[in-house]
Amino acid sequence: MIDLTKPILHIPWDSEGTFVNRENKFLGLVNIPGIGTVNVHIKDPGRLENILIPESKVLLQKKDGSKRKTAWELISAKVGYDWVLVNSGFHPHIAQYILKNGFVNELGNIKKIVPEKQIGNSRLDFLILTDTNRVWIEVKGCTMAIGDIATFPDAVTSRGKKHVEELIQIVEKGDIGLIIILIFRINVNCFKPNFDIDPKFAKVFEQAKKKGVTIKTSVFTYKDSYIYYVKDIPLCD
């Protein structure tokens, strides 16, 4: 029995600030009360255009180390009343937790979990060995919502398309392919690929579904410094 009240992952934060501007893909400016405007590392490849807007509230983690270009890392941003995780560095930890703790019923009895496994010209997030199968897994983080629809990606992802194509080939050769979509917007009821932003990825995603790649879409929330599982949602009709 899965305890849905148990937190999945602790992600502490050190300061709350106000987002000023996104300088480039990985760098933002945030005003921290009592400190001033600081450079912040944005560890998320998405555009986050409807999340990281001027004056939005954000949560930051202090980082030490002389090799870093910034002393702060972005953890979460507030959308309405909810805090949305906007740091993809935590996605593998969340995915590994749900894999180990029975959230993915399709897997059966897991014997071994191998992270970052090379296959062909790609490196997929996980390979799971069960009693009877090899399961290749790719994890995607979704922070974009249009109304009550969660959608991915929010920026063109040729790498994501390549990984889904690899999963199709895996299924055709007899192994199991699984896409896990980690959704961080709680007021959503279904998921669909984003044809408007990346039609090439969306078409390959639909092809993967028809070819038998398993797709799991799960919603999570970030609350009081912890990640909690909320629910699974279906693919949109």
What is d(CA 33, CA 35) in angstroms, rounded to the nearest whole number? 6
Structure tokens at 1: 């029995």
- What is the set of domains in the chain, with CATH numbers? 9-85 (2.40.50.580), 88-232 (3.40.1350.60)
Give tens-digit pLDDT for 30-83.
999 999 999 999 999 889 999 999 999 999 999 986 678 899 999 999 999 999
pTM summary value: 0.94
Give tens-digit pLDDT for 194-215.
999 999 999 999 999 999 999 9
